[in-house]
Structure 1
């Protein structure tokens, strides 16, 4: 098996009584787009700063290209970091901002011109090389910061919430550009984000973090469809959590206060208390026919679908994605839940 580009092994970091990281381990492959995803305070930025060399772990080991990073200062690591604020030089134009790191390395002017031109073309900034930073839009500044970070050809690029300052539409457009640039340069990217949609859209793999620990590392589709813990299930995407218990008298079933739901797969024993995590889009809704009876209490129009709130029991309201037909508050509906829909979590989780 090919050795990973970056290896993080049992990294821990404390700030007094506060545990920022506790035994974090993960690997990033060459040419991989890797995301550190989690809520504020989960440790993702601290981990990134440890990789960059701005923080020193209390214990554990970091290796890059199989070389131990212990004691290696930030400027001697083959790592660049793109900050959330972009940290561009306002007194320099776009060309000189991108060329800055190359000039510090002492590269020849001919090589600098070739590299800067390549990156300005790649980031669609070629017409703006002579402009000052205050003459650019937010999206253009973000691309200048990216080009500057890539200019010295780092082995690893760290991105700290790089799209956080952009509006939603521009952020979505920039996600595609960022992924395309990463593929073209074949540089390994590690992005820190609290935006689940962003991580799902651009990362090859995601590490979901919580209170200084890694909850799950997997490809986006696995994180979404097969969350390893209840925290991951609730943090990534919308999720219904339904309480119940396991019955095995006539095949595996999940017994709730409103229905008995057959289960295609179930490793839990008879009578075990459990929680079913169920995505709204995995629940089919109709006005009649077979299924669980419910009544629409509210809805939110989302464009391509409508998110319904359907009460199926006095103490249970399910969020349901309706893709066909229009529903109004007070409508009686039937819900169908497939035996393989959702993920079961033991009560202790």
Structure 2
């Protein structure tokens, strides 16, 4: 494999008694769209600021393009940042906002004109060059900020919650545009977000963070389908946590409060307490099929499917995705959980 563009090794950063970063290690490849995902206070913004040079780690090592970043000030790093607030200049038009970094670098008029025109075309703003910032919509401002950040051709672009100010529909539309622009420029992007859907939609790989540590680094599909920890399973997407005990009778079974579930590929020993994390869409539901008996307690219409809450034991209700048929509160149903559905975590919590 080729050397990573950005390498972070055992980085630690404390604020008093609080460990904002507690031994973080990860790599970002050239041309990769990488996401730092986690709840507020997990350390993702601190890590981004360390990469940019706005914070200095207490220990550890950061290298970019093989160069140690220790002591390198922000303005000398081949890194640019797009802020959540966009930080555009209201007294300048769109063209001059995008050209700002190029003028500071002393680029010639011809180079500046060509680069700004290229980026305005790429961000679908070719006819907006003379507009003032206050004449633009939120989505258009976001694209101006992106074009300005990309103009000096940084090796790495950091995006701090870049779509947070947009409404849901515009945010979803902008995700496609952002990914397309990243592919066209082949610039490495690192996005910081607490929005799991955003990370899953945009990133080639995701680092899920919690309390200053990295819980898992993987492609979106693996993060969702094979979470490494119970925290990742609960934070990324909806899931059911089912408590039980492993029993072995030739094959492996998971004994729960609502019955015995066969488990394929289970490596846990007989008698081990565990938690099964299973996504709502991995549980089949029917009115008279074989499986776990339950009663519909509530439901939420989600467009392409209906999310049911089904009581299967006095203390256990499962969320189930119903993609066919109509169900009402009080309906008797049966649930089917495949032997390979979900992920087992040892030791119930």
Q: Distance in 2 between matches of 1:98 and 1:127?
A: 14
Match of 2:76 in 1: 76
The answer for the alignment partner of 1:104 in structure 2 is 104
Cα offset, 1:250, TM superposition:
3.1
CA distance in 1, matches of 2:270, 2:264: 15
In structure 1, the partner of 2:263 is 263
Q: TM-score, normalised by structure 1?
A: 0.99
Which residue in 1 is equivalent to 2:211? 211
Query: How far apart are 1:348 and its partner, in Å?
Result: 6.2
**Deviation sequence 1:101-141 (CA, Å, 0-9, x none):** 00000000110000000000000001111000000000000
RMSD: 0.6
- 1:57 — aligned with what? 57
* Structure 2 segments unaligned to the other structure (5+ residues): none
Determine the C-alpha separation between the residues in 1 that align with 2:127 and 2:295: 57
The answer to whether 1:289 aligns with 2:289 is yes
CA–CA distance in structure 2, aligned partners of residues 177 and 348 of structure 1: 42
Deviation of residue 265 (structure 1)? 1.2
The residue number in structure 1 matching 2:222 is 222
Kept after mapping to 1: 8 A contact 2:244/2:348: no
Written as runs of structure 1 = structure 2, the 5 A alignment for 1:1-349 is 1-347=1-347
Q: When the two structures are superposed, what TM-score results if normalisation uses the length of structure 2?
A: 0.99
CA contact (8 A) 2:12 2:20 kept: yes
Distance in 1 (alpha carbons) for counterparts of 2:327 and 2:348: 37
Secondary structure of the 1:304 match is coil
CA deviation vs aligned residue, 1:10-68 (integer Å, no higher than 9, x gap): 00000111110000000000000000000000000000000000000000000000100
Q: What whole-Å deviation, never above 9, does each CA across 1:223-244 have from its counterpart, x for those lacking one?
A: 0000000000000000000000
Alignment: residue pair count = 349
